Structures are given as structure tokens and as C-alpha cells.
């Protein structure tokens, strides 16, 4: 039983580190995008797109909504 628990924990750690890496890359992308010479509406659209992706990762993995039933997810989205 302890072997199963260790494998499960290692798998969770791998997922969390992957999500952390994605969030770090998206944060760097956000900072980089702030230096782009684009119009205000394009900058807002880009920033909101990146923020939506980051929020989805946090809600899905750190709040464990990725494993919830679809009905609960849709209720929370609305």
C-alpha cells in the first residue's frame, strides 16, 4: 500500500510542477507583452487572454476542479 501512495504523491508533484512551470512562463509572457507596441485594445485583449488561461490552470489543478463532474464545473463557471 505504501508503494501506491508514493507513486500517487510523485504523480501529483509532477503535475503541480508542470502547472507551476506553465504559470511561470505565462507570467513572463504577460510581462513581455506589456512592452509590445500595440494599441490599448489589443494590449487589453492579450492581457485578458493570458489571465484567463492562468486562472483556468489555477482553478483546474490547484482547486481540483479538473476532476469534478461537468455539471459542477458549469455551475461554477456561470
User: For the chain, what are the domain ranges?
Assistant: 2-77
Average pLDDT per consecutive 10 residues, the chain (78 residues; last block may be shorter): 73 94 97 93 94 93 81 74
Q: What is the pLDDT of residue 33?
A: 92
24-37 burial string, b = 16+ CB within 10 Å, else e? eeeeeeeeeeeeee
Q: What is the pLDDT of residue 2?
A: 52
Give residue 76's Cα distance to chain centre: 16
Q: What is the pLDDT of residue 63?
A: 86
Please state the pTM of the whole predicted model. Answer: 0.77
Question: Comparing C-alpha atoms, which of 75, 72, 26 is closest to residue 52?
Answer: 26
Amino acid at each position: 500500500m505504501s508503494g501506491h501512495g508514493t507513486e500517487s504523491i510523485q504523480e501529483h508533484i509532477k503535475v503541480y510542477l508542470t502547472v507551476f512551470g506553465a504559470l511561470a512562463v505565462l507570467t513572463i509572457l504577460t510581462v513581455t507583452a506589456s512592452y509590445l507596441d500595440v494599441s490599448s485594445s489589443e494590449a487589453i485583449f492579450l492581457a485578458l487572454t493570458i489571465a484567463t488561461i492562468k486562472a483556468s490552470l489555477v482553478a483546474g489543478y490547484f482547486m481540483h476542479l479538473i476532476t469534478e463532474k461537468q455539471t459542477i464545473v458549469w455551475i461554477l463557471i456561470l
